Amino acid sequence: MLRYLLRRLLLSVPLLFGVSILTFIVVALVPGDPAVRILGAGHTAAEYQAADARLGLTEPLLVQYWHWLDGVLHGSLGTSLFTIQSVSSTIAQRLPVTVWLIVGATLVSLVAGVALGIASAVWRGPLGRGIDAASWVTFAVPNFWLGLILIEFIAVKAHLLPTSGFVPLGQSSSLWLRSLILPVLTLAAVGVTGVAKQTRDAMDEVRSREFVTALRMAGLPAWTILLRHALRNAAIPIVTTVGLFMIAMLGGTILVEQVFALPGMGSLVVQAATDRDLPVIEGVVLYFTLIVIVLNLLVDLSYAWLNPKVRVAS
């Protein structure tokens, strides 16, 4: 098992390289001159040229990439073309927001989704059909639109929660929580129903397996079989689904942060893309990829823990 995980880790390294090279090339293709953006209009060509040279943008692409790579290997992601701030510190400021969003949404999806799924597997009928319907509706409704609706009804009309903005945990834990509730719910909506549906399907599949009948024949109580045995066996497809949703939610944070004006990585990348701020874009892409890799590894780790065949060689 250790070898399996090590292999996955090793494969991630070339991936990070690949993604960074790809991003570099793509952004370098961007027409337009960042210097114009920075200095504003109405300067001479020579001044723009000088600005470009200072920013290192006149050198060949490969050299630029090498400089950046060299920086990364020394722990620095470079400096923003626009704010003079180091990319690493910008990301460090923004990362917690995104992480809270993902962690919160994952927890909500997992807990609510699994509970609903088990409930609908046991008490069939309207609950099951309701979940099917809800899962399609939450998938179909764009999350940015859902966020807007939630803001309108809960924040504006009912004044229950703030409409936007983020309060850091250090400042006030209750305000922090309140600022996260609506965004997390928006992000988790599709996850809850998707996980519920997958849980229900996985439980149904496990329940039709021979060992469940055998345990019933042995006289074990139904709920013990359901929760201790069926759920454990259904856990793997459920975890797979949660993993997929986590990665999808990563993209979702970009939209949700826009709607709720949260200063996270998502809104950072939107701004950087508009500004053609290459170092920031590179840094954000790197971090997003890293997060995906970490999430995948977590999923793989849980497979290994859940599935004895992976844990113990036969």
Closest CA to 12 of 307, 251, 294: 294
> Does residue 308 belong to the site contacting another protein (CB under 8 A)?
yes
Q: At what angle do helices 126-140 and 87-122 cross, to 10 degrees?
A: 160
For the chain, give the number of residues: 314
Q: State which of residues 23, 79, 80, 179 lies at the interface with another protein (CB under 8 A).
A: 23
Nearer to another protein, 262 or 281 (CB): 281
DSSP string, 104-144: HHHHHHHHHHHHHHHHHHHS-SHHHHHHHHHHHHHHHS-HH
Task: Give the shortest CB-248-to-another protein separation in angstroms.
Answer: 8
Cβ 77 vs Cβ 91: under 8 Å:
yes
Closest CA to 105 of 253, 227, 217: 253
Binding segment toward another protein, per CB under 8 A, in 67-75, 97-105, 107-115, 202-210 = 202-210
Site for another protein in 282-301 (CB under 8 A): 284-285, 288-289, 291-293, 296
- Annotate each residue in 161-200 with x if it binds another protein (CB under 8 A) or - if it does not, as one string: ----------------------------------------
Nearer to another protein, 7 or 54 (CB): 7
Helix (H/G/I), strand (E/B), else coil: 209: coil
- Annotate each residue in 120-159 with x if it binds another protein (CB under 8 A) or - if it does not, as one string: --x-------------xx-xxxx-xx--xx--x-------
Q: State which of residues 5, 9, 11, 261 lies at the interface with another protein (CB under 8 A).
A: 11
Cβ 108 vs Cβ 100: under 8 Å:
no
Nearer to another protein, 53 or 160 (CB): 160
Task: Give the shortest CB-257-to-another protein separation in angstroms.
Answer: 10
Beta-carbon contacts of residue 61 (< 8 Å; ≥ 6 apart): 24, 25, 28
Site for another protein in 234-273 (CB under 8 A): 247, 250-252, 254-255, 258-259, 269-270, 273
Binding segment toward another protein, per CB under 8 A, in 64-72, 171-179, 180-188, 201-209 = 201-209
Rounded distance, CA 138 to CA 133, Å?
A: 9
Distances (CA, A) of 205 to 120, 121, 180, 199, 238: 14, 10, 36, 10, 12
> Does residue 314 belong to the site contacting another protein (CB under 8 A)?
yes
